[in-house]
Chains A and B, each alone.
Chain A
Amino acid sequence: MQKLPGNDEPVAAEEAITPENNEPVVENEAITPEIDSPVVDNGAFATSLPDILAKIFQPKKTEAAPQQRWFLPAAFLLVIFGMFFSTYILNIDVFYKEIEKVSDGAAEKDLVWHEAGAALVEHWEERTTEYMALKDRLVELHGWEMNLLDKHFVRDADYSYSVVKDNHDWLQFITFTAQPRQIVQEIETIKELDIPILYVQPPTKFIDGYTKFPDTLNDHSAENVAANFALLDAAEVPYLDLRQAAEEDNLDKERMFYRTDHHWRVETALWAVGRTVQELEELFGWELDPDGAYTDPANWRVTDYGENFLGSQGRRVGPYYAGLDNFCLLTPKFDTKYHLELKQHTGELTIYYGDFITTIINKELLTEPSVYTNRYGAYWGADYPTVVADNLNIEDGLTVLLIKDSYGLPYGAFLSTMVDKLYMVDLRYYNIDNLPQYIEAADPDVILIMYC
């Protein structure tokens, strides 16, 4: 009869008979936890070699005293208690506040108890993700492991932030099929303001004919851009396709984008401004840079900060998956003077006065030693709902309104050196319903849209 661990009552004989044969399960065939049991007889791989060796050497079986293991269980307890203490105990006030938040929210939204409970669980899970101890180090370790295993796809909890390593070992996010932006869909509304518009399509990091994704992964950048262009064509709004321009100008594709970030390099943004200026001259006759001085790279000081930039894609996988980027800051060698108004997300207005470096460059983002610092944000410091840069060195020049996303950060900074006034509106933080009024108030000479 078969005794089972945990009780002293033997199992009745008939229970040892399996439905598939008439033979009782013999005790030494009993299935026991793998870490305790001798090898089961019907494990062919397990018994053949020991059987052979046993026949040769025929050692005696002796009973040894059970060994007390200390290292592994102690290490395990250290890990889980260490994480418990540093994630939860040290931040207990944060987790406690969630209870208050959910209680208040539950009363407001009239939630029943189990809905409030589910909401609290969700909040605690989010806080756990946010406050998990050593999270960055663990993510780095995971990235190191993925690199060691030569993985080209690292899935993220949010699939849209999964990271792909392309055929040039660049990191990429997958671009999914997307509807054209509302600004493009409603371009007629902007056209009604009777101000010249130029849509600027930046190069995409997935370069057709150059970038290749692992099979089963598809990038839809080109389709999305084509959809935008179709709407612009229908509305007869001109656009500058910088993807094509990059091909024409034979830009070094290796140097167009950061390897670990989804943005273009600041040097590429300077080139893009030069191309925009050319296009504005061809379309509307404006000469923003008649002698090419503003957009000549020789007139820009390059400060190399070395390989200390881990971009947006790199931050999802750590620096050991694809390395770090080299970040160079471009600042004008020529004289500049600005009056700058930055509208914060809170609605507060911050005003700066001074030269390009004093007003536009956020030095903290360059000098902070952590590679996780967003160096790309050094131009303007961040994305703001609105920015007004009054170039005090240019009188009676062009007033440009730039509708932008984060690609517009270095682009707008470089453009600001050759215009009278630059208005920047970031539609991720500014209500598009208020845009026509804003444009009317700004009264620009031209509207540039680089928001895709």
Chain B
Amino acid sequence: MVWLCIERIFAVLFSSVEFLCAFLPFTLLVYYLLPGRRLRNHFLLLMSLFFYAWGEPLYVLLMLTCIVGNYAFGLLAAAFRDSAGRWPARLNLAAMLVFNLGLLAVYKYSGFVISNLNSVFGLNLEDPGFVLPIGISFFTFQGMSYVLDVFRGQAQARLNVLDVGLYVAFFPQLIAGPIVRYNTIAAEIDGRREKWQDFAAGVELFIIGLGKKVLLANNFALVVDKILDSGTYVYAQEMSVAAAWAAAIGYTLQIYFDFSGYSDMALGLGRMFGFHFLPNFNYPYIARSVTDFWRRWHISLSSWFRDYVYIPLGGNRVSKQRLVLNLLLVWLLTGLWHGANWTFIVWGLYYFCFLTLEKLTGLNKLLAKIPLVGNVFTLFVVIIGWVIFRSPDLPYALQHIGLMFGLYNNPLTDEIFIYQLLENRVHLAVALLACLPLVPALKSLCQRFKVQVGRGWLGAPLGIVRDSVLLVVLVLALAALAKGSYNPFIYFNF
């Protein structure tokens, strides 16, 4: 099942003792002792490869292959871009797509394709049994982003393969994103300046992300896994309506804090080394329409598909029929990107339906004018979507949704729901508050009243409170990691 992690991969997580107490301090120490940009970049690449090899000693070769391949394609793209003919450039582009998508097809989708061919056509093809390399969906997409940006003339090809390596393999975003677009950090590979202010901002982001992941997401993971309990509860149609909703909402919270937490940590780590990645989440659960939701959720992925698939196909400057087809393709690919399972494809198509509906009817603009209705509607759609996303197969998803609406004459509530609600009441309250943009609101309030946090009679105590809270979060997260508590990570398998 896609949300399960291989246990030994725990060490590759930012939220692990090995990373926090060994890898990160060692990397920071040596990095800042090294003179010169070149040495520092080479060191970062070396540490990034080590980081990947820690969890995937064999597949680090695959990633190196991806780096070298995209480096070569990038050079060719630059060469052909400057030459007269279009066909060599397009052929090179096609070869690059075959190369990167081929890696994905083999390692991520071959088993899925073969099992479906076998069941549809009654064949007996052997599943090659490839193990999914960690982060393959992220680093192949980054590789493609590099070559595509060079092809379009939006970036210069790197002459040094190590620079391409650093871009593709840089450990903060290597295994779980955000998908960093090459042209957003191209200048920073050589031209960044590490500043203490950035470092401090990075530390804050990292701690926030760590807290989200370890203190919130991991707790909800326990709740959801306990309620759903290997599926027998669902298949037996015994789960109460409330418990079914609790599992769905629990997963909604788990996946958000898990993924956004990891993204925050990635952004924070990037900052510590002078890189400025674009944020990946913007309080998605306050969205007032599905359209709005997808402007806030996994922004790097949706913008990747927008810029490299949707807009080249014409975007929305085409006929309505063509627009619908464009959206269908984008959301089919989005679903597929998430995993080799029909549930992900259906999940992608599920959003295609709502987004198309909003686009064609202007529903999103109407919902934006009625915030509460819009928010409730969007959350409803999103929560159901997550049920499909999490389910191991479509029948399970339908069962779970059916239980949520009492279609199996299941009871309204049960002891399991009541126990989980009481047991997790504090986490639930904190999580709901954390879904709201309270911190930006507070910052805005401070800015409007000229209060600079950390300075002045009001700002200084606020700064102390802020930093104390963050320090407490860091220590509590470290305590949870020392305990060796439950530490799954959902997006690891993408």
Contacts and interface: CB of A to CB of B under 8 A. Distances in A.
A153 B483 CA distance: 13
Interface string B218-247: 000010001101000000000000000000
Q: Most chain-A Cβ atoms within 10 A of its Cβ — which of B355, B371, B375, B448?
A: B448
Given A64-B452, A145-B476, A216-B226, A138 B306 contact: no
A121 B8 contact: yes
A129 B484 contact: yes
Interface string B294-326: 111001001001110011000110000000001
Interface in A232-269: none
B467 interface: yes
A444 to B, nearest CB: 43
Interface in A152-195: 152-157
B484 A156 contact: yes
A440 to B, nearest CB: 45
Contacts of A9: 154, 183, 187
Given A17-B316, A117-B53, A139 B483 contact: yes
A20 B419 contact: no
Interface string B76-111: 000000000000000000000000000000000000
Interface in B420-447: 420, 423, 426-427, 436-441, 443-445, 447
Contacts of B471: 72, 75
B200 A73 contact: yes
A6 B449 contact: no
Contact of B439 (A34, A62, A138): A34
B228 to A, nearest CB: 10
B184 A45 contact: no
A321 to B, nearest CB: 11
Interface stretch (B162-170, B274-282, B340-348, B392-400): B274-282
Given A64-B452, A142-B479, A46 B423 contact: no
Nearest to B441: A46
A125 B279 contact: no
A446 B201 CA distance: 73
Contacts of B439: 34-35
Contacts of A43: 282-283, 286, 437, 440-441
A6 B203 contact: no
Nearest to B456: A64
B448 A88 contact: no
A216 B416 contact: yes
A84 B21 CA distance: 5
B406 interface: no
A40 B185 CA distance: 23
Given A9-B183, A76-B474, A84-B21, A139 B479 contact: yes
B380 interface: no
A6 B275 contact: yes
A97 interface: no
Contacts of A17: 311, 315-316
A298 interface: no
Interface stretch (B22-30, B117-125, B251-259): B22-30
Contacts of A121: 8, 11, 54-55, 57
Contacts of A142: 476, 479-480, 482-483, 485
A54 B306 contact: no
Interface string B144-168: 0000000000100000000000000
A156 B485 contact: yes
Given A7-B184, A22-B316, A72-B467, A42 B57 contact: no
A53 B445 contact: yes
A33 B267 contact: yes
Contacts of A59: 448-450
Contact of B282 (A40, A125, A132): A40
Contacts of A27: none
A67 interface: yes
A80 B20 contact: yes
A128 B203 CA distance: 24
A70 B203 CA distance: 11
Contacts of A66: 197
A172 to B, nearest CB: 16
B22 A87 contact: yes
Interface string B460-494: 00011001001100111011101111100000000
A43 B444 CA distance: 12
B15 interface: no
Contacts of B184: 4-7
A66 to B, nearest CB: 6
A14 B315 contact: yes
Interface in B4-26: 8, 10-11, 17-18, 20-22, 24-26
A125 B447 CA distance: 46
A49 B445 contact: yes
B188 interface: yes
B449 A155 contact: no
B173 interface: no
Interface string A215-244: 110000000000000000000000000000
Contacts of A369: none
A45 B423 CA distance: 28
A349 interface: no
Nearest to A158: B484
A57 B205 CA distance: 32
A149 B427 contact: yes
B203 A122 contact: no
Contacts of A54: 448
Contacts of B203: 72-73, 76
Nearest to A4: B184
Contacts of A139: 479, 482-483
A12 B306 CA distance: 13
Contacts of B292: 42
A368 interface: no
B186 interface: yes
B95 to A, nearest CB: 25
Contact of A14 (B222, B311, B330, B371): B311
Nearest to A153: B423
A68 B455 CA distance: 10
Contacts of A125: 8, 10-11, 18
Given A15-B306, A47-B444, A121-B55, 9 more contacts: A12-B154, A15-B311, A17-B315, A19-B316, A22-B316, A35-B204, A35-B439, A88-B22, A135-B482
11 contacts: A7-B186, A19-B316, A31-B279, A43-B283, A44-B286, A45-B437, A62-B450, A69-B454, A69-B467, A72-B204, A118-B57
5 closest A-B pairs by beta carbon, nearest first, are A157-B484, A117-B57, A138-B482, A83-B21, A20-B291
Interface of B: 8, 10-11, 17-18, 20-22, 24-26, 28-29, 53-55, 57-58, 154, 183-188, 192, 196-197, 199-201, 203-207, 222, 226-227, 229, 267, 275-276, 278-279, 282-283, 286, 288, 291-292, 294-296, 299, 302, 305-307, 310-311, 315-316, 326-327, 330, 355, 358-359, 364, 368, 371, 375, 415-416, 418-420, 423, 426-427, 436-441, 443-445, 447-450, 452-455, 463-464, 467, 470-471, 474-476, 478-480, 482-486
